[in-house]
């Protein structure tokens, strides 16, 4: 028997014939090291590439799930390739031909349902890296023996190797166009010129070095339900049911070292759609007590539209569990940011009052008073990273800023707010924002009244004809 | 009285007897002002030496409820708590503002040296005062929260009693700002703040553990 190189009986393409290399032992028998040579099947689907990263990830996951029916060891190789081990399933499916047929049968309808062309580039070889390169080059070959990899890969252009642009230019300038050119060069020199990573890449293709892959694992899903023996109308009883489900959930989370970030509860009714309770967690948790309090808060404010027959719980969003680490001495603990301590309280407040009712404060480096300080709904990700910056000015600002400036009236020629006003300091001119369409041109003063209030007032500066310049109250100091 | 004394095996020195919470001493405020190790009721420095001197804890009481009664908002009452906010926020403690009259302005707080990132504003729907009271109780019960400032719309002696209880379970200082004197209030400290053009007049209406009814004058911070 010789080392075989088939054209994979795949798509009718050109057949590459590589002269078989026949390694012989002195006894004339084929050398085997007692281990079965692995066989990796690679699929490349360039049509998957879209601009929508989210859709792309979803499609990759769908294909990986599908490939899971052919092999236990599937890996997604971004952006558009997949590689899976088939040696262990070769006998079960009855040969590579059958595997290929099954793949085609399952993949084509999926691609069609997305409206994509049904071209599949595929290759199989003893190393995952070589299979991927061959598939990406559109070679459609099957290589059984590692000895044949060199010649099969030789014809591929070096640009196929994933590497930075600078390095591919360097290769091109050195006159190295195909992998074959690289095989002819001494290893030592290659390593010196192109780095150990590059040589490692070549070694992984040839199987000289093991190339580990990251097996795809489908995302976890927890779903559990509970049916009551009778229709329940009391939220107290519902809470007992929910507690049992939460105990199951927390058990699941503990076993898998996960924490939930989004929990959906559905209360099922007869002859009508279920009531959904969605609990969004700012901080991933697996604390049963905290979840119970959140569910209780939700149930407290809930008006049941109909008696409840059962409860269902579903969790799709998880994060790896992170235990909080306390220092041994207990000294550093006081200085740690205590965000994880306050989060449960804020989540409970949001569960009852609505998300918008809980805000943190935003301080921007901005001269327009309205933009410099605002509220930011707690837990929203927009601008959260740089929410506190130094104030733009050192001039005194009021602790309370009115949501809208309040027009001040005048009595006997003097400004009046609760009593007549006396200017204490000013003016501070703020004239900015012309580029944004919210131009302000104002002179700000600090004024005091007889009640002891210190007010931040401004005088408009827009001299539009026929309109009087008005005074407004904008803030109260403390 | 003796039957409820703690473990009789502990040797009773005069010091341990003085620190026992079962013993109430009338002249406590003078002790507090003179000695810093008033361990059973530690106070939080208010930043105003004159105010610290007339409070029996040598500052704001910890884990208690304080009422600040003012005739109107924005007449300087916030100035009383700004140093406290600065100290607590710089220690990384959390501060909740519940139903304030309007949103506090972060640049001003930053100017006053307060870490605005430690402040969370909770604004429940004003149409249902119950929500604000519920939020206050939950916040005071929570130990992660060091200070709760609240501007309740409706308040009765019963509410104050519950909030005072919540503050002592959560070891949180709660400061309520309101306009009217509530009869039979069980708050630990009641202050009345009146202001005029010159400054603030702070009157101690009630301080648990003290008979003194001091009144002090604080100057307004000038622009």
Q: If you write DSSP's letter for every residue of B70-106 in order, what string do you get?
A: -SSTTSSHHHHHHHHHHHHHHTT-EEEEES-SS-B-H
Q: How far are the Cα atoms of A33, A146, A148, A232 from residue A229, in angstroms, in the given order? A: 64, 64, 68, 9
What SS3 state is found at B139?
helix
Is the reported ipTM for this assembly greater than 0.90? no
3-state secondary structure A295-311: HHHHHHCCCCCCCEEEE
Q: Where are the alpha helices (DSSP H) in A179-225?
A: 179-183, 187-194, 196-206
Task: Give the pLDDT of residue A323.
Answer: 66
State the Cα–Cα distance between residues B91 and B82, nearest whole angstrom: 14
State the Cα–Cα distance between residues A456 and A463, nearest whole angstrom: 22
Q: Are A287 and A258 in contact (CB under 8 A)?
A: no
Average pLDDT value for residue range A218-242:
88
Mean pLDDT over all residues of chain A?
82
Task: Give the pLDDT of residue A115.
Answer: 85
Does the beta-carbon distance from B108 to A398 stay under 8 Å?
Answer: yes
How many residues can be counted in chain A?
Answer: 478
State the Cα–Cα distance between residues B147 and A191, nearest whole angstrom: 63
Does the beta-carbon distance from B109 to A399 stay under 8 Å?
Answer: yes
State the Cα–Cα distance between residues B94 and B118, nearest whole angstrom: 5
Task: Give the pLDDT of residue A213.
Answer: 84
Buried b (16+ CB within 10 A) or exposed e, A58-88: ebbeebbeebbebbebbbbbeebbbbbbbbe
Q: Which CATH architecture group holds A5-23+34-206? A: 2-Layer Sandwich (3.30)
Task: Give the pLDDT of residue B12.
Answer: 60
Domain with CATH 3.30.1490.100 in chain A: 222-320
Does the beta-carbon distance from A402 to B115 stay under 8 Å?
Answer: no
Q: What is the CATH number that goes with domain B43-219? A: 3.40.50.300
Interchain CB contact of B127 with A (< 8 Å): no
Sequence-distant (≥ 6) Cβ neighbours of residue B204 within 8 angstroms? B54, B55, B189, B190, B191, B210, B212, B213, B214, B215
Q: How many CB pairs under 8 A join A and B?
A: 170
In this structure, is the dihedral angle defined by the CA atoms of residues B167, B170, B173 and B177, taken in order, positive or negative? negative
Which tens digit of pLDDT belongs to each residue from A353-400? Answer: 888 899 988 888 878 888 888 888 887 765 554 556 666 677 888 999
Mean pLDDT over all residues of chain B?
82
Does the beta-carbon distance from A338 to B94 stay under 8 Å?
Answer: yes
Q: Is A89 left (phi over 0), alpha (psi -120 to 50) or beta?
A: alpha
Residue of B nearest to A397 (CA): B108
Strands B173-178 and B145-150: parallel
Interface of B with A in 49-78 (CB under 8 A): 71-78
Residue of B nearest to A449 (CA): B197
Does the beta-carbon distance from A391 to B115 stay under 8 Å?
Answer: no
Helix (H) or strand (E) holding A446: strand A440-448
Q: What is the CATH number that goes with domain A222-320? A: 3.30.1490.100
What SS3 state is found at A126?
coil
Model confidence at A146: pLDDT above 80: yes
Does the beta-carbon distance from A391 to B117 stay under 8 Å?
Answer: no
Domain parsing of chain B, residue ranges: 43-219
Task: Give the pLDDT of residue A36.
Answer: 77
Calculate what percentage of chain A has a pLDDT beyond 70: 86
Residue of A nearest to B75 (CA): A453
Q: Are A377 and A356 in contact (CB under 8 A)?
A: yes
Whether the upstream peptide bond of residue A79 has omega within 30° of 0, thus cis, is yes
Domain with CATH 3.30.70.270 in chain A: 5-23+34-206
Average pLDDT value for residue range A159-164:
84
Sequence-distant (≥ 6) Cβ neighbours of residue B23 within 8 angstroms? B17
Task: Give the pLDDT of residue A411.
Answer: 83
Of residues B76, B82, B116, nearest to A363 (C-beta): B116
Residue of A nearest to B139 (CA): A345
Interface of B with A in 181-220 (CB under 8 A): 194-200, 220
Task: Give the pLDDT of residue A251.
Answer: 92
Q: Report chain A's terminal Cα–Cα distance, integer Å.
A: 94
Low-confidence ranges of chain B (pLDDT < 50): 1-4, 29-40
Residue A361: name the closest of A343, A323, A387 by CA. A387
Reported as a pLDDT band with limits 50, 70 and 90, residue A242 is very high
């Amino acid at each position: 028997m010789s080392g075989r190189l088939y054209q994979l009986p795949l798509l009718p393409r050109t057949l590459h014939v590589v002269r078989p290399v026949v390694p012989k032992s002195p006894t004339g028998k084929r050398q085997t090291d007692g281990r079965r040579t692995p066989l990796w099947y690679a699929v490349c689907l360039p049509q998957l590439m879209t601009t929508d990263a989210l859709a792309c990830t979803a499609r990759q996951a769908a294909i990986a799930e599908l490939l899971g029916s052919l092999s236990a060891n599937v890996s997604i190789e971004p952006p558009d390739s997949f590689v899976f081990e088939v040696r262990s399933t070769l006998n079960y499916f009855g040969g590579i031909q059958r595997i290929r047929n099954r793949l085609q049968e399952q993949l084509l309808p999926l691609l069609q349902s997305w409206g994509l062309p049904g071209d599949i580039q595929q290759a199989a070889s003893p190393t995952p890296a070589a299979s991927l390169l061959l598939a990406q080059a559109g070679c459609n070959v099957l290589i059984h023996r590692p000895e044949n990899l060199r010649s099969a890969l030789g014809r591929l252009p070096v640009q196929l190797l994933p590497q930075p642009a600078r390095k591919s230019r360097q290769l091109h300038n050195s006159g190295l166009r195909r992998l074959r050119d690289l095989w002819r060069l001494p290893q030592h020199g290659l390593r010196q010129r192109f780095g150990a990573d590059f040589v490692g890449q070549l070694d992984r293709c040839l199987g000289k070095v093991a190339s580990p892959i990251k097996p795809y694992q489908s995302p976890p899903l927890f779903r559990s339900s509970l049916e009551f023996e009778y229709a329940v109308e009391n939220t107290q009883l519902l809470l007992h049911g929910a507690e049992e489900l939460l105990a199951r959930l927390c058990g699941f989370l503990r076993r898998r070292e996960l924490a939930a970030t989004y929990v959906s509860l559905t209360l099922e009714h007869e002859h009508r759609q279920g009531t959904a309770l969605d609990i969004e967690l700012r901080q991933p948790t697996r604390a049963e007590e905290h979840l119970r309090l959140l569910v209780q808060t939700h149930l407290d404010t809930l008006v049941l539209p109909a008696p409840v027959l059962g409860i269902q719980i579903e969790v799709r969003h998880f994060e790896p569990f992170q235990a909080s680490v306390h220092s041994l001495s207990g000294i550093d603990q006081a200085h740690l940011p205590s965000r994880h301590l306050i989060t449960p309280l804020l989540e409970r407040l949001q569960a009852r009052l609505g998300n918008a009712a809980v805000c943190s404060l935003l301080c921007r480096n901005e001269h327009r008073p309205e933009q410099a300080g605002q509220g930011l709904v707690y837990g929203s990700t927009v601008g959260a990273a740089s929410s506190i910056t130094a104030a733009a000015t050192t001039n005194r600002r009021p602790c309370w800023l009115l949501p809208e400036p309040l027009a001040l009236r005048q009595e006997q020629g003097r400004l009046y707010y609760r009593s007549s006003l006396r200017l204490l300091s000013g003016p501070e001119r703020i004239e900015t924002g012309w580029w944004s369409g919210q131009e302000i041109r104002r002179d700000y003063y600090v004024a005091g009244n007889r009640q002891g209030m210190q007010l931040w007032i401004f005088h408009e500066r827009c001299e539009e004809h026929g309109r009087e310049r008005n005074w407004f109250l904008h803030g109260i100091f403390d | 009285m003796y039957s409820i004394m703690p473990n009789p095996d502990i040797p009773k020195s005069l010091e341990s007897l003085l620190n026992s919470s079962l013993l109430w001493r009338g002249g406590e405020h003078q002790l507090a002002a003179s000695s810093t190790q008033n361990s059973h009721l530690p106070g939080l420095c208010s930043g105003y030496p004159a105010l610290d001197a007339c409070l029996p804890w040598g500052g704001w009481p910890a884990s208690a409820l304080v009422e600040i009664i003012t005739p109107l908002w924005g007449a300087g009452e916030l100035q009383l708590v700004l140093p406290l906010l600065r100290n607590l926020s710089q220690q990384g403690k959390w501060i909740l503002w519940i139903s304030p009259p309007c949103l506090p302005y972060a640049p001003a707080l930053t100017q006053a040296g307060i870490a605005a990132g430690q402040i969370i504003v909770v604004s429940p729907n004003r149409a249902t005062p119950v929500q604000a009271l519920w939020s206050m109780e939950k916040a005071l019960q929570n130990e992660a929260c060091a200070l709760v400032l609240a501007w309740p719309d409706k308040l009765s002696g019963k509410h104050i009693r519950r909030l005072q209880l919540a503050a002592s379970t959560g070891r949180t200082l709660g400061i309520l700002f309101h306009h009217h004197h509530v009869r039979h209030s069980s708050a630990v400290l009641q202050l009345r703040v009146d202001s005029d053009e010159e400054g603030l007049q702070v009157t101690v209406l009630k301080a648990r553990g003290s008979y003194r009814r001091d009144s002090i004058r604080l100057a307004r911070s000038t622009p």
